[in-house]
Structure 1
C-alpha cells in the first residue's frame, strides 16, 4: 500500500515543479501526467511498478536538482542590481544603492548610486514592516541611520524577471533568485507608503553601537555573497524574514525559532518580548505609533521624507 501514497505525493510535487518551471509549455506537465498513469498501470498489471516509479523519480528529481540560480536573466529594472560593498577600516563604499523616483506603483525614474558611510557614525536601526493584504504577513526592511544624516535601507527580496509576478508556490520550487537591495528611504519606503498604499510601520530598534556594527556588516557580507554567487529564494527557508533572522544571530547565536519567521506580521510581537523594540508604553501603543503610511502621504512635496515618517 506504500506505493500509492508515494506515487500521489511524488506526482503532486513533481507536477507542481514542472508547472512552475514551464509556464509556457504545459505539454511538459501533461507528459508527466501520462507517465504517472503508465506507472500506475504497470503497478497493477506487471511486477515492474516500483521500477517505473523509481525511474520517474530519478528523471524528475535529477532535472529539478540540476536547476541552478543565475545572475544573467532579464530582470525587472528595480531588481537589476544587487548591492555590494568595499570595506576599508570604518569606511564603507556601497555600490548600486537604489534611489528611484517612483511615478506610480510600477514605474519610476531609475537611479543607482554609490554611497560612502562611516561605521563609526552608525547610530541607529529601525525595523520597517509593510503589509499589503493579510496582517499576519509582512515584508521586512531594516533601515540604518548615521550621524551625518545618511540612511540606507536593506531589503531581502525575490529577484523577479520582467513581467514576472510573485508566487508563494513558485517560491517553493526554485522560480526566483534571492536579492539583497540597498536603497534610500525616499525610494523603497515611499514606494510602499505613497504608491502601493500599504500598511507600513516603523519600529526603532534598541541596539547599542557595538550591536549595530556587526549587524550592518552582516548585511554587507550577504550582499557581496549574492553579487558573486546567486542563490534561490525559498518561501520558508530563505525569505525576507528568515534571512534577517539568520543575520540577527550574529548578535545572539542562540536566538530561537519563532512562528513570526513564517507569519512575519507577528514579528514585532516577538521582538518586543525579547526587549529589542524601543517602546515603553506597551505593545499596542507601540504598534499604533509605528504607523507611517498616512503621515508619509500627507507630507508636502519636497519635505524631508525620513524626518516626516519619524515625527511623533
Structure 2
C-alpha cells in the first residue's frame, strides 16, 4: 500500500520534527550535565562543544541525505553521544568526600526488639545559618513508648516548594526527626537544578527538633508548619523502622539525590506506601509545598478540621521565635501549643535527657 504523496511528505516532516526535538532536548540535557559536573572553565568549553554538535544534529534531518558532509555529521554526533553516555555512566555516588559538617556523619542503628540504639543523631546548636556548635550523639529509644508522629513542612522557596520532615514523639517527651537531605560538600551550595544531574548524594539525618526544626524557623527564617499525623502504634513503629532500613541502605550503598524522583517528599510517600499500598500518585508529591494538603485529603492528618484551619494553627514560627535558645524540650512543647490533635500534656513541662558530647564551634554553608 502506497501513501498519498501529501501524507508521505507530512509523515517525513513529522519524523524530522521529532528527531530535531530529540536532538534539542539531548543537547540541553548534556550541556547542563557538563555544567554541573565539571569545574567552571572546562564545563563551559565542554558544554559549548556539545552544543555545537547538538545544533548540527538538530539541523541534520532537514539537510539532503547521503552527502559526505551529512555522513560526517552523523558519525560525529554518534561518537559524541557514545562518549557522553560513557562519561555519564562513570559518575557514581560516594561516601568519600569532604562533606559539610552538618551532613558529615551517617546514621547507624541497632535494633533489639523494642530497644533501638541510634548512632550519629545530630543535635547541633545553631546560632545563625552558618555559625553553630556541632554535636553528634548516641541515643537509645524504646519503641514501646512511641506514641506520635508529626509532619513538618518548611518553606524556603515560595509557596510550592517545601522541605518535608517527620518527627516521632515518645512518652518521655523526647522527639526525633528524620529528614532526607542532600549531602553537600564543603564547597558546594544547594541547587534544585543541579539535583537533576547527579550533583549531590543524599543522606538520611536523624536529629533533635531543637536542631533541625529550630534552625529553619529561627536561624534561617523559613516558614514552618507542623501537623499531627493520624496513625496507630503499629503504623508508627513500622514507619520508624522503615526509616532505619532506609538509613542502613544509604549507609551501605551511596545514592544520588534527585530533585524529582528521590527527595525529602518522595521518601515519605514511599515509606507510607509500605503501610498503605493504595496511596495514589498525585501532582502534590512533586510540588512539595502542597504535600500536607495531599496528606489531609488521604485522611492522614487530624480529623474534624479543614486543611485551612490545620495550616493556620500549624504555623509555628511565632511560638518558635519566643523560645529560649538553650531549652530544647521547651522548644518542642512550645511549637505544639494549639496544634489540632496534640494532647495538652505534650505542651506541659516534662523531663528529657540529653546525651553529652564534646563540641567545638564551626562554620559551614547551609544544607536544605
* TM-score, scaled to structure 1: 0.95
Hey, what's the Cα distance between the residues in 2 that align with 1:38 and 1:264?
Answer: 39
Q: Deviations over 1:188-213 (max 9, x none)?
A: 00001111111101101010101101
Counterpart among 327, 332, 335 of residue 309 in structure 1: 335
Work out whether 1:50 is the aligned partner of 2:74: yes
Aligned match of 1:293 = 317
CA gap of 1:104–1:229, structure 2 versus 1, over 3 A, is: same
Hey, what's the Cα distance between the residues in 1 that align with 2:292 and 2:275?
Answer: 18
Hey, what's the Cα distance between the residues in 2 that align with 1:210 and 1:87?
Answer: 16
Counterpart among 270, 273, 276 of residue 252 in structure 1: 276
DSSP-derived class of the 1:243 partner: helix
Aligned match of 2:31 = 15
Hey, what's the Cα distance between the residues in 2 that align with 1:11 and 1:133?
Answer: 28
CA gap of 1:15–1:311, structure 2 versus 1, over 3 A, is: same
Hey, what's the Cα distance between the residues in 2 that align with 1:68 and 1:275?
Answer: 39
Give the superposition deviation at 1:49. Answer: 3.1
Counterpart among 103, 106, 121 of residue 127 in structure 2: 103
> Which protein is bigger by CA-based radius of gyration?
2
Give the superposition deviation at 1:221. Answer: 0.3
Hey, what's the Cα distance between the residues in 2 that align with 1:94 and 1:101?
Answer: 19
Q: Deviations over 1:1-49 (max 9, x none)?
A: 2543332221111111001101332322233334446667988533243
Aligned 8 A contact 2:120 2:138 in 1: yes
Aligned match of 1:126 = 150
**Mapping of 1:152-163 within 5 angstroms?**
152-163=176-187
Aligned 8 A contact 1:128 1:141 in 2: yes
Residue segments in structure 1 that go unaligned for 5+ positions in a row: none
Work out whether 1:78 is the aligned partner of 2:94: no
* TM-score, scaled to structure 2: 0.81
Aligned 8 A contact 1:79 1:160 in 2: yes
**When the two structures are aligned, how many residues end up with a matched partner?**
312
Give the superposition deviation at 1:133. Answer: 2.8
Hey, what's the Cα distance between the residues in 2 that align with 1:16 and 1:274?
Answer: 37
DSSP-derived class of the 2:275 partner: coil
Aligned 8 A contact 1:279 1:286 in 2: no
Work out whether 1:213 is the aligned partner of 2:229: no
Hey, what's the Cα distance between the residues in 1 that align with 2:60 and 2:302?
Answer: 64
Work out whether 1:30 is the aligned partner of 2:48: yes
Counterpart among 228, 233, 254 of residue 230 in structure 1: 254
Residue segments in structure 2 that go unaligned for 5+ positions in a row: 1-15, 64-68, 339-368
Aligned match of 1:179 = 203
Hey, what's the Cα distance between the residues in 2 that align with 1:231 and 1:189?
Answer: 25
Hey, what's the Cα distance between the residues in 2 that align with 1:42 and 1:237?
Answer: 34
Hey, what's the Cα distance between the residues in 2 that align with 1:279 and 1:196?
Answer: 31
Q: Deviations over 1:75-98 (max 9, x none)?
A: 110011121211111111111000
Work out whether 1:65 is the aligned partner of 2:100: no
Aligned 8 A contact 1:92 1:119 in 2: yes
Work out whether 1:148 is the aligned partner of 2:158: no
Hey, what's the Cα distance between the residues in 2 that align with 1:300 and 1:168?
Answer: 33
